[in-house]
Amino acid sequence: MGPVVLIVGRLAGEAKGVRGEPFAAGQRYFRAVARAGGVTLMLPPITSLVDEVPGLLRRVDAVVLHGGGDVDPRQYGQEPTAEELYGVVPEHDEVEFAVTRAAIEADLPLFAICRGMQVLNVALGGTLHQHIGSEAHWFAFHEVPLEPDSQLAAALGAPVATKCHCVHHQAVDRLAPELRAVGSTADGLIHACELPSARWTVATQWHPEDSADTDPEQQSLFDSLIAHC
């Protein structure tokens, strides 16, 4: 069996073929990990399980933090002020922050995507723009130049990530002290960061899973996650 990768699920309103309210996570993440040779497990966002997270992570080989609604601004010391805030779910925040901190403590390979990058930044003491005030990153493709010595550049085998699919209205504001920004778009928004002290903790503001099935460049990020297990 390949490396086991943990993804935290979401509370979901509906799903076909199940009885009662479901937990869910997007198939594209699971399929991208599977193409890389990994086996994915989903942790439901049940807050009573938080104390079990460190023990659970001893049984897996890597973690993916994926996209979703907004992080509660109170998590980074602000009151909610942007009317555009959406999808704030306390259970998602509590479980994902616990998983993030435990994964870093255990030095597990960690790939944080979109909301996941924002969770990583806030978990380590950073802040977010509650709303970037632009539609330029909402269902749009961007090019992201990367620091040549970054793990992202090594994974891609190139100093630029091309055709990066962005679906976000928030972004990193103050970067957490432990993180290193390794890629930004032309408008100055951080779109990639890493934790230099970790074995492999990489974050993208874009969604590589959206095009990874047809774009080897984006799939290579999941391949690199599994290679570092």
Query: 119-152 b/e with 16+ CB inside 10 Å = b?
Result: bbbbbbebbbbbebeeeebeeeebebbbbeebbb
Classify 141 as helix, strand or coil: strand
Residue 21: partners with Cβ closer than 8 Å, 6 or more residues away: 11, 12, 13, 14
Residue 153: partners with Cβ closer than 8 Å, 6 or more residues away: 146, 147, 159, 182
Would you place residue 45 in the very low, low, confident or very high pLDDT band (cuts 50, 70, 90)?
very high
Predicted confidence at residue 21, as pLDDT, reads 87
Would you place residue 14 in the very low, low, confident or very high pLDDT band (cuts 50, 70, 90)?
confident
> Total structural domains in the chain?
1
Predicted confidence at residue 154, as pLDDT, reads 97
Annotated catalytic residues are: 114, 207, 209
CATH number at residue 57: 3.40.50.880
Predicted confidence at residue 44, as pLDDT, reads 96
Look up the domain containing 43 and give its range. Answer: 4-227
- pLDDT for 112-162, tens place per residue? 999 999 999 999 999 999 999 989 999 999 999 999 999 999 999 999 999
